[in-house]
Amino acid sequence: MKNSSLRFDRLPSGLWRALFGPVLGAGAVLAGALGHSSIGYAMTALLAAAAGLAWLRVGEAMKTRAAVAAIEATCKRVAKGDFEARIISDPRNNPGAGAEKAVNDAIDRCDAFVREATASLDAVCRGVYYRYILREGLEGAFGVAANAINTSVKGHEKSVRDARRDAEAEKNHVVQTIARGLARLAAKDLTVRLGDELPDAYKQLRDDFNAAIGEMEAAVRRVGTSADTIANGSAEITSASDDLARRTERQAASLEQSTAAMRELGAVIDGAANASLKTQDNIVAANKDAVESLATVERTIAAVASITESSKRIGATIGVIDEIAFQTNLLALNAGVEAARAGDAGRGFAVVATEVRALAQRSAVAAKDIKSMIAQSAASVQAGVESMAATAAAFNRIKGQIAMIEGGIAEIAGQALSQTSTLKQVNLAMADIDQTTQQNAAMAEQATSASQALAQESDRLAHMVGEFVVLSTKRNDAAAPPEAAVGNGRRRVAA
Amino acid sequence: MTQSAYASREMFFPENEIIVSKTDMKGRITYANQTFCDISGYALRELVGKPHSILRHADMPRAVFKLAWDTMLAGREIFAYVKNATKAGDYYWVFAHMTPSFGRDGAVVGYHSNRRIPKRAAIEGVIAPLYAAVLAAEARHKNGKEALAAGVDCLTRALETRKACYEEFVLTL
C-alpha cells in the first residue's frame, strides 16, 4: 500500500521552514499540477489556516507539519501524473485532515477527468461515439474541457456519420449500377456496358466490368460458331458411322454365308477322305482277289497241262490198242484162211475168227474214236490253256492298275487330309474375322450413338448460346452505349 | 445480509459529488473519498484493507459483479448500476464507472471506481426489473457456480434481446 507510507512518522527539525516551506511549495505545486489557480489558491489558504493553528500548539504543529509533508509528497506524485497518489490518514485529532481531504478531492477530480477523457477518446479511436465524458463531478474548467471534448466527439461523430452516409450512398449507387448491369447480364444480354454513371474512383471497376463482359460476349460468339462446326461435324460422323454400320452388317452376313460354305466344303472333303479310305480298303480286297484268281488260273493251267500229258499218254495207249486191233484183225484173217482149209472141222473156228475180227475192227473204230476225241479234247485244252494265259496276263495287268489306283487314292486321301487342315486354318481365320466384324459392328453402333449424342449436345449448346444477346458486328457497336445498339446491331447468337 | 428487521431507506448524495474508491489488485480497498465515507457510514479506517463486498446489497445479482471483474481483468472500463448497502442497513444507488489503474510501465496496478448519481428512470424502468430477473435466475440454483452461470446466461439473453453490447446498453439508458 503505497499511500500508507505518507503517515505521521517523522518529526520536524526546523519548525518555520518545515511549516511554511512545504505549505507554499505544495500550494504552488498543486496549482501548477491542476492548472486551475482557484483550486490551488483555496488549498494554499487552507494550508495557511492549518499552519496558523499549528503556531498555537507545538504538538499540533508537529502533526500539521507531518500532514503538510504528506501533502507535499502526494502533490509531487500527482505533478508527475501519478493519480494513484492519495493521502490516507486518520482524521481524528488531525489538524491537517481537512487539507488532506481537499487535496484528495482535487486529485479525485483530476483523476476522474483524466479517466473520463481517456476513455471517451479511446472509444472514439474504436469508432464508438456514445462514450461521452460523464459531466457529473466535473466542475468549472473540468466541465468546460469535458464539454469541449464531448462537443468535439459529437462533431467527429457527425462528420464520420456524414462521410459514412456519403460513402454508403456512393456505394449504393455503385452497387445499384452494377446490379442493373448484372441483371441484364443475368437476362443473357451480353451487350450491356457501364458508362459514365460510376464515380471516377470506380473507373477501374467499370473498365474491368466492361472488359470482362466484352470477353464473355466474344467467347459466346466463338462458342456459337464452334457449336455450328460441331453440329456439322457430328452430322458427318453420324452419316459415316451409319454407313460403316451398314457395311459391317453386310460383311457379317457375307461372312456367315462363307462360313456355311466352308462348313459344307469341309463335309465334302471329309466325305472324299472317308470314301478314299474305303476305296483303299476295297482296292486291297480287289488286289487280294486278283492275286488269288491269278494263282487259281495258274493252278488251272498246270492242271490242263497235266490233262494234255494224260491225253498224250492216252493217245499212245490208244495207238497200242489200235496196233493190237490191226494185228488181231490180221490174225483173225489168217485164222479164217486156216479154218477154211480145215474144212468142216475149221468152221467153228472160222466163226470165232470172224468174231475176233469184228471185235478187232470195233476196237480199231473205238480207238479211232477215242483218238479223235482226244485230239478234240487236246484242241479244247489248248484253247483253254491259251484262255488261261490270257486271263493270267489280264490279272497281272489288273494288279498293276490296282497298284496305280491305290497310289492315286492314297494321294487323294493325303490331299483330303491336307485340305482338312487348311480348311481348319481358314475356319479359324474366318472366326477371327467374324469376331472382328462383330467388334466393328459394336464400335460402329457406339460411334453412331456417340455422334448422335454429340449432335444433340451441340444442338443444346447452340440453343443455349442462342439465348445470349451479342452485338452482331465487332468493333463499332462495342464502343457505342448499349442502348444505342438496341434494335440494329444486337442479335441473338445464331444457333 | 438481510434488511428485514430494519426499515431500509434509500440514501442520496449531492449531484456534483463523485464517490471514489481504489482497490489493490486483489480488490481490497486502498482509498475511499469523503463522499464514500459519508454515504456508506463507514470511517476510512474501517474500509481500508476490506473487500468491496462490504457494501454488497442482497438485491445485487452476482452476475453483474462477475461481468465487472471480467471486463476490468481484460483491461477495460465498465459501467454498472449498483445498489449498495450502508453500514446502517440503508441503501443507495450509484452509476459506477470502474477502471483498471495503470502504472508508469502500463501494467495494471489496481482498480478504481467513480460513482455518480444514477438516472432514476433507468433504475426504475430497466435496471431494477433486470436485476430482479437475474437474481431470480441465480436463486433457482443452490450451487454457487450454477447460480452464477444462470445469472450470466439471463443477463446475456436480456442484452441479446436489446441487440446491443453491454457498454452501449448501459451508457444509452
pLDDT digits (tens, 9 = 90+) for A323-347: 888 898 888 888 888 888 888 888 8
ipTM of the complex: 0.88
Give the pLDDT band of residue A1 (cuts 50, 70, 90).
Answer: very low
Residue B94 identity: V
Q: Which residue has the higher pLDDT, B23 or A476?
A: B23
**Quick check: A108 contacting B, CB < 8 Å?**
yes
Q: How far apart are CA B14 and CA B84, in angstroms?
A: 16
**Cα of A149 vs its chain's centroid, Å:** 74
Which of A229-243, A293-307, A447-461, B59-73: highest mean pLDDT?
Answer: B59-73
Chain A closest CA to B146's CA: distance in Å?
33
Q: Which CATH number fits domain B3-171: 3.30.565.10, 3.30.450.20, 3.40.50.720, 3.40.50.170?
A: 3.30.450.20
Q: Does B46 touch chain A (CB under 8 A)?
A: no
Of A84, A88, A105, the CB nearest to B101: A84
Residues A262-285: tens digit of each pLDDT: 889 888 888 888 888 888 888 888
Question: Could you tell me what percent of chain A has a pLDDT over 70?
Answer: 85
Comparing A36-45, A115-124, B71-80, the range with the smallest average pLDDT is A36-45
Amino acid sitting at position B49: G
Q: Name residues whose C-beta falls within 8 Å of residue A2's C-beta, 6 or more positions apart in sequence.
A: A84, A85
Take residue A398 and report the three cell numbers written for it: 489288273
- Closest-CA distance, B145 to chain A, in angstroms, reads 32
The 10s digit of each residue's pLDDT in A168-185 is 998 898 889 889 989 998
**Averaged pLDDT for residues A391-405:** 87
Q: Does B115 touch chain A (CB under 8 A)?
A: no
pTM: 0.51
Residue A52 touches chain B, beta carbons under 8 Å: no
Contacts of B47 in chain A (CB under 8 A): none
A5 touches chain B (CB under 8 A): no
In the prediction, which pLDDT does A30 show? 54
User: Once rounded to an integer, what is the mean pLDDT over residues A365-390?
Assistant: 85
Identify the helix (H) or strand (E) that includes residue A272: helix A203-341
Do residues A39 and A106 make contact, with C-beta atoms less than 8 angstroms apart? yes
pLDDT of B171 reads 85
Residue A127 predicted with pLDDT over 70: yes
User: What's the pLDDT at A409?
Assistant: 85
- At A243, the amino acid letter reads D
Mutate: best of A114, A125, A134, partner B, most B CBs <10 A: A134
Interface check for B101 against chain A (CB to CB < 8 A): the answer is yes
User: pLDDT of B110-165, one tens digit each?
Assistant: 999 999 999 999 999 999 999 999 999 999 988 888 999 999 999 888 888 877 78
> Looking at CA atoms only, how far is residue B77 from chain A in angstroms?
8
A233-271 per-position pLDDT tens digit: 888 888 888 888 888 889 888 888 988 888 898 888 888
- Is the pLDDT reported for residue A157 higher than 70? yes
Identify the band that residue A36 occupies on the pLDDT scale cut at 50, 70 and 90.
low
Whether the Cβ atoms of residue A243 and residue A481 lie closer than 8 Å to each other: no
pLDDT beyond 60 at A21: no
Can you list the pairs that B1-8 forms with residues at least 24 positions away whose Cβ atoms lie under 8 Å? B1/B56, B1/B57, B1/B58, B1/B85, B2/B58, B3/B58, B3/B85, B3/B89, B3/B91, B6/B88, B6/B89, B8/B89, B8/B90, B8/B91
CA-based nearest residue to A409, from A285, A281, A289, A269: A281
A115 to chain B: which residues are within 8 Å by CB?
77, 97, 99, 112, 114
pLDDT band, very low/low/confident/very high, at A9 (cuts 50, 70, 90) = very low
Per-residue confidence band for A474, with pLDDT thresholds at 50, 70 and 90 = very low
Of B56, B54, B29, whose CA–CA distance to B111 is shortest? B29
Residue A249 sits at the chain B interface (C-beta within 8 Å):
no
Per-residue pLDDT tens over the stretch B61-103: 999 999 999 999 998 899 999 999 999 999 999 999 999 998 8
Q: What's the length of chain A?
A: 495
Among candidates A90, A91, A115 on the partner chain, residue whose Cβ is nearest the Cβ of B114: A115
CA dist A442 and A481 (Å) reads: 56
Closest CA to B19 of B110, B128, B118, B131: B118
Q: What is the mean pLDDT of residues A114-120?
A: 91
Counting residues of chain A whose pLDDT is more than 90, the rounded percentage is 13
Q: Is the pLDDT of residue A475 over 60?
A: no
CB-nearest to B33 from A105, A119, A134 is: A105
Mean pLDDT, chain A, integer? 82
Considering only CB atoms, A108 lies closest to which of B18, B77, B110, namely B18
pLDDT the model gives residue A16: 45
Chain A partners within 8 Å of B99 (Cβ) = 115, 119
What whole-number distance in Å separates Cα of residue A11 and Cα of residue A20? 15
**Would you give the distance in Å from CA A454 to the centre of its chain?**
19
Q: Which residue of B has its CA nearest to A116?
A: B97
How far apart (Å, rounded) are the C-alpha atoms in residues A351 and A347? 6
Question: Are residues A82 and B114, on separate chains, in Cβ contact within 8 Å?
Answer: no
Q: Judge whether B70 and B152 are in contact, CB under 8 Å.
A: no
Contacting A residues, span 308-327, partner chain B, CB-CB under 8 Å = none
Contact check, Cβ <8 Å, B109/A84: yes
Residue A194 has pLDDT above 60, yes or no: yes
